[in-house]
C-alpha cells in the first residue's frame, strides 16, 4: 500500500519542470507517494473556467499536505492570485522560509542562517482594493489581533522547538501606528511567555539596510504579509537567489510546500530552471510527514551534488548544467545510497 497521498499542483511557467524534477527525485529516494495532481491558474481556467477549482481545496483538506509549483498572477488585471486565495481559503497562516548558505554557491556573505516567518492571510497583500471614484483607488490594510498573535506564537514556538535564540519583529509602526502598531503590540505581548528567547524589533526600511550590511546578526525575522514577501526575496539574494530558497505555508487545516520563487517566464520551457528551491521545500515536506530518513538522504545528496562539478548545477548558481543534469546527479547519488548527517 502506498504510504502517503499528497496533492500535487505543478503550476505554470517553470512549475511543471521543477515539480517533475522533484517528483522524480522523491521516487529515486524510494518515498512511496500517490500524487493527486491538479491544475490551477490559467491552465485551470482553460479547462473548467475556475483558476482554483473547489476539488483542489478538497484534495488538500483531505490529504493535509500539498507540493506546489509557482503560479503566474496576471499584473494589474485578470484573476486574483491563486497563492493568496489558497492561503486564505485553507487558513495557511504561517509562511516559513529557512534561508541559509550552501556549499559552492558563491555569495557576498558566509554562514547565513535565517528563518523568515511571514503572516500569510492579511495586510495589504490580501489585495482588498476598490475604486472610490475614477482616478482614486483604495487598498485596505487589515491587521487583526488574532492573526498577529497566532503568527507571533508560531515564531516563538518555532524558536523554542529549534533552539533559536532571538525573534525580531519587523514593522513600520512609526508611520502606521494603528495597523503595524497592533502587530508589534501582539508580538511584545506574546514574547512575555517566552522569557528565554530574545525579542526585539526593527523598522522595515532599516531592517533591509541591516540585512544587506550584516545579515548574520539576525536569527528569526517575523513580518506581516507584504513585508515578508519583499524581505524574503531580499534574503534569498543573500544565499544565491530564488533558485535555492524553500518555503512552507502552514495552518491547522494542512500545509502547502512551495519554493519562494515565481513562475520565471523568462526561462520557462528551456531546461534552465533550478529545481533546488522546490526540492528543499520537498525536504521540509518529508520532515513534516515523518519521512525523516528520506529527508536526510536527499539533504545529503544535495550537499554532495553542490560540492561536485559545475556541470551538475544550473546557471543561476554559477553552474553549466540543466534542470535535468541536476536531477540526474541527485538521483545518481541517491541510488548509490549515500548516507550522511543532516
Q: What angle do the packed helices 145-161 and 179-191 form, to 10 degrees? A: 40
CB of 260 to ligand NAI, least distance (A): 7
**Which grid coordinates are listed for 262?**
515565481
Is 125 one of the catalytic residues?
yes
205, 214, 307, 342: the active-site residue: 205
**Which grid coordinates are listed for 309?**
562539478
Q: What are phi and psi of 185, to 5 degrees?
A: -60, -45
Give whichever of 71 and 284 is closer to ligand NAI, judged by the CB atom: 71
Give whichever of 159 and 298 is closer to ligand NAI, judged by the CB atom: 298
CB of 270 to ligand NAI, least distance (A): 10
User: Is 264 a binder of ligand NAI (CB under 6 A)?
Assistant: yes
Q: With left for phi above 0 and alpha for psi between -120 and 50, is residue 236 left, alpha or beta?
A: alpha
CB of 152 to ligand NAI, least distance (A): 24
Integer angstrom CA distances of residue 161 from 113, 154, 187, 287: 16, 10, 18, 14
User: Is 77 a binder of ligand NAI (CB under 6 A)?
Assistant: no
Cα–Cα dist 329/185, whole Å:
49
CB of 129 to ligand NAI, least distance (A): 16
Helix (DSSP H) and strand (DSSP E) numbers for the chain? 11, 12
Integer angstrom CA distances of residue 315 from 120, 323, 325: 31, 9, 11
Contacting residue, 9, 44, 273, 305, with ligand NAI by CB under 6 A: 273
User: Is 17 a binder of ligand NAI (CB under 6 A)?
Assistant: no
Is 200 one of the catalytic residues?
no
- DSSP letter at 317 equals G
Is 214 one of the catalytic residues?
no
Is 172 one of the catalytic residues?
yes
User: Is 83 a binder of ligand NAI (CB under 6 A)?
Assistant: yes
Cα–Cα dist 268/189, whole Å:
45
How many whole angstroms from its chain centre is CA 329?
Answer: 24
Subset of residues 188 to 247 that bind ligand NAI, contact rule: CB under 6 A:
242-243
Give whichever of 14 and 305 is closer to ligand NAI, judged by the CB atom: 14
Is 58 one of the catalytic residues?
no
CB of 173 to ligand NAI, least distance (A): 27
Stretch that binds ligand NAI, among 66-74, 152-160, 164-172, 219-227 (CB under 6 A): 66-74
Question: Are the beta carbons of 59 and 7 closer than 8 angstroms?
Answer: yes
Query: Residues near 91 by Cβ (< 8 Å), separated by ≥ 6?
Result: 121, 251, 252, 253
Contacting residue, 172, 202, 261, 312, with ligand NAI by CB under 6 A: 261
Contacting residue, 181, 251, 262, 310, with ligand NAI by CB under 6 A: 262
User: Is 306 a binder of ligand NAI (CB under 6 A)?
Assistant: no
Give whichever of 190 and 267 is closer to ligand NAI, judged by the CB atom: 267
38, 93, 125, 158: the active-site residue: 125
Number of residue whose CB is nearest ligand NAI: 262
Would you list the DSSP string of 91-107?
T--EEEEEEE--TT---
Cα–Cα dist 31/46, whole Å:
33
CB of 288 to ligand NAI, least distance (A): 18
12, 180, 229, 316: the active-site residue: 229
Catalytic (active-site) positions: 125, 172, 205, 229, 233
User: Which residues here bind ligand NAI, judged by CB under 6 A?
Assistant: 14, 18, 70-73, 83, 242-243, 258, 261-267, 273-274, 277, 316
Amino acid at each position: 500500500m502506498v504510504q502517503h497521498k499528497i496533492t500535487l499542483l505543478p503550476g505554470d511557467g517553470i512549475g511543471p519542470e521543477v515539480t517533475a524534477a522533484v517528483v522524480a527525485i522523491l521516487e529515486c529516494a524510494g518515498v512511496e507517494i500517490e500524487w493527486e495532481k491538479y491544475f490551477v491558474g490559467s491552465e485551470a481556467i482553460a479547462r473548467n473556467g475556475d483558476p482554483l477549482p473547489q476539488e483542489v481545496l478538497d484534495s488538500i483538506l483531505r490529504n493535509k499536505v500539498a507540493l506546489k509549483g509557482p503560479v503566474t498572477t496576471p499584473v494589474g488585471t485578470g484573476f486574483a492570485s491563486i497563492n493568496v486565495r489558497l492561503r486564505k481559503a485553507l487558513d495557511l497562516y504561517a509562511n516559513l522560509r529557512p534561508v541559509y548558505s550552501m556549499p559552492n554557491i558563491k555569495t557576498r556573505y558566509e554562514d547565513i542562517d535565517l528563518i523568515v516567518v511571514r503572516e500569510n492571510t492579511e495586510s495589504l497583500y490580501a489585495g482588498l482594493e476598490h475604486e472610490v471614484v475614477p482616478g482614486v483607488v483604495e487598498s485596505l490594510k487589515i491587521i487583526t489581533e488574532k492573526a498577529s498573535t497566532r503568527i507571533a506564537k508560531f515564531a516563538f514556538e518555532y524558536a523554542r522547538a529549534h533552539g533559536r535564540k532571538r525573534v525580531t519583529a519587523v514593522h513600520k509602526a512609526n508611520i502606521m501606528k494603528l495597523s503595524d502598531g497592533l502587530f508589534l503590540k501582539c508580538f511584545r505581548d506574546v514574547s512575555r511567555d517566552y522569557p528565554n528567547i530574545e525579542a526585539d524589533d526593527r523598522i522595515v526600511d532599516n531592517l533591509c539596510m541591516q540585512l544587506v550590511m550584516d545579515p548574520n546578526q539576525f536569527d528569526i525575522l517575523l513580518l506581516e504579509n507584504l513585508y515578508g514577501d519583499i524581505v524574503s526575496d531580499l534574503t534569498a539574494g543573500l544565499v544565491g537567489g530564488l533558485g535555492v530558497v524553500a518555503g512552507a505555508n502552514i495552518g491547522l487545516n494542512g500545509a502547502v510546500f512551495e519554493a519562494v520563487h515565481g513562475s520565471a517566464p523568462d526561462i520557462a520551457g528551456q531546461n534552465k530552471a533550478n529545481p533546488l528551491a522546490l526540492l528543499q521545500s520537498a525536504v521540509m515536506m518529508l520532515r513534516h510527514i515523518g519521512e525523516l530518513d528520506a529527508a536526510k538522504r536527499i539533504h545529503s545528496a544535495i550537499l554532495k551534488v553542490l560540492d561536485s562539478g559545475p556541470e551538475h548545477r544550473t546557471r543561476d548558481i554559477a553552474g553549466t548544467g540543466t534542470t535535468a543534469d541536476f536531477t540526474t546527479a541527485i538521483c545518481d547519488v541517491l541510488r548509490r545510497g549515500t548516507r550522511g548527517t543532516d
